[in-house]
Amino acid sequence: MGYKNVCVNCRISLSEGTNYELFNRNKTCPTCKDKMYFVNEKFKAPKKSNDKEWKIIEYLLLSGYDFRNPYCGYEQCIYFEFPKNLQEAEAFIREMRKLK
Ligand SMILES: [Zn+2]
């Protein structure tokens, strides 16, 4: 449980615990020194060998999705289901960006 930081290069997620005060949103990966992505506790890392899911995750993170679920605007919420392919991931990001 708790929030996580994800490195898509190394395909790892590190737990940040649940103490909001201590969250590190600008973490660099301890292994490759690349930027890590801060994600909601709903995020579950697939196996490192799962290229397909990691490509989808990378796309979602680069598009600004942080795995909060539901993702809410002022008037509406949308629910996230893990996309079966990149087309579905793109459709989700389009919906997410329509929210105000
Ligand atoms: Zn890394």
Question: How many angstroms is it from 4 CA to the middle of ligand 1?
Answer: 14
- The two tokens of residue 51 are 């290229």
Widest Cα–Cα separation across the chain: 41
In 1-100, DSSP assigns E strands to 3-7, 12-17, 37-39, 71-72, 77-78
In 8-92, DSSP assigns E strands to 12-17, 37-39, 71-72, 77-78
User: Structure pTM?
Assistant: 0.90
pLDDT at 1: 62
Question: How many angstroms is it from 91 CA to the middle of ligand 1?
Answer: 28
Question: How many angstroms is it from 78 CA to the middle of ligand 1?
Answer: 30
Q: What is the mean pLDDT of each run of 10 residues along the chain (100 residues)?
A: 90 85 82 94 94 98 96 95 98 95
